[in-house]
Amino acid sequence: MATPVTPPRGMRDFLPADKASREHALAVIRRSFAAHGFDEIETPVMEDAARLHSGLGGDNEKLAFAVLKRGLKPTDAAAAAESGDLLGLADLGLRFDLTVPLARFYATHRAELPTVFRSIQIAPVWRAERPQKGRYRQFVQCDIDIIGESGLLAEIELITATAAALDALGLTGCSIRVNDRRILTTLLAHWRVAPELNERALIVIDKLDKIGVDGVVTELAGLGIATDGVADTLSQIADAGWTAAEPTPPVWLDTDAFADLLALRAAMPEVRLVFDPTLVRGMGYYTGTIFEISHPDLGYSLGGGGRYDGMIGRFLGTEVPACGFSIGFERIVDLLGVDAASAENAVVLVYDKGTDPARLVALKRTLVEQGLRVRLEQRTKNVKALLERAAGAGYGRYAFVGADASGAGELDFRPLGG
Mind giving me the DSSP string for 126-180? E-----BTTB-SEEEEEEEEEES--STHHHHHHHHHHHHHHHHHT--S-EEEEEE
Handedness of CA 106, 110, 116, 121 (dihedral sign): negative
Mean of the pLDDT values across residues 72-97? 88
Q: Is residue 254 within 8 Å of 186, Cβ to Cβ?
A: yes
For residue 375, the cross-strand partners are: 348
At 36, phi and psi to the nearest 5? -95, 15
CA distance 252 to 245: 10
| Rounded Cα distance, 74 and 94, in Å | 24
pLDDT for 238: 73
Mean pLDDT, rounded, for 66-84: 87
Helix (H, G, I), strand (E, B) or coil at 302: coil
pLDDT at 338: 57
User: With bands split at pLDDT 50, 70 and 90, how would you rate the model's confidence at 339?
Assistant: low
Task: Please report the pLDDT score of residue 18 as a whole number.
Answer: 85
Say how far apart CA 155 and CA 171 lie, in whole Å: 21
pLDDT of residue 182: 93
pLDDT tens string 149-202: 999 999 999 999 999 999 999 888 899 999 999 999 998 888 888 888 888 888
Beta strands 46-48 and 90-94, pairing class? antiparallel
Q: How confident is the model at residue 41 (pLDDT cuts 50, 70, 90)?
A: very high
Cβ proximity of 220 and 199 under 8 Å: no
Does residue 390 register a pLDDT over 60?
A: yes
Query: Residue 286's pLDDT is what?
Result: 86
Question: Long-range pairs for 295-298 at CB < 8 Å and ≥24 separation?
Answer: 295/171, 295/173, 295/174, 295/335, 296/173, 297/173, 298/331
- For helices 255-267 and 153-169, give the axis angle rounded to 10 degrees: 50
pLDDT tens for residues 391-411?
A: 888 888 999 988 776 677 788
Report which of 363, 343, 344 is spatially closest to residue 352, judged by C-alpha positions: 363
Question: Which burial class, exposed, middle or buried, applies to 401 when counting CB atoms under 10 A from its CB (0-12, 13-18, 19+)?
Answer: buried
User: Is 94 in contact with 45 (CB distance < 8 Å)?
Assistant: yes
Question: Lowest-pLDDT range, 161-170, 238-247, 299-308, 365-374?
Answer: 238-247
**278 phi and psi, to 5 degrees?**
-95, -5
User: So what's the pLDDT on residue 57?
Assistant: 67
According to the model, what pLDDT value does residue 1 have? 67
On whether the CB atoms of residues 106 and 120 are closer than 8 A, the answer is no
- 129 in Cβ contact with 10 (< 8 Å): yes
Between CA 108 and CA 85 the distance in angstroms is 29
pLDDT tens by residue, 85-135: 888 888 999 999 999 899 999 999 999 999 999 999 999 999 998 887 778
Q: What is the 3-state secondary structure (H, E, C) of 194-220?
A: CHHHHHHHHHHHCCHHHHHHHHHHHHH
Better-scored residue on pLDDT, 35 or 19: 35
Interatomic CA distance for residues 313 and 318, integer angstroms: 5
Alpha carbons 260 and 290: distance in angstroms, whole number:
12
What is the pLDDT of the chain when averaged over all its residues?
A: 88
Distance CA(284)–CA(57), nearest Å, equals 8
Residue-level pLDDT at 348:
93
Tell me what pLDDT residue 120 has: 98
- pLDDT band at 341, cuts 50/70/90? low
Residue 281, SS3?
A: coil
Q: Please, are residues 179 and 274 in contact by the beta-carbon 8 Å criterion?
A: no
pLDDT score recorded for residue 85:
83
User: How are beta strands 289-294 and 175-180 bridged, if at all?
Assistant: antiparallel
pLDDT for residue 262:
96
Q: Which pLDDT band holds residue 417 (cuts at 50, 70, 90)?
A: confident
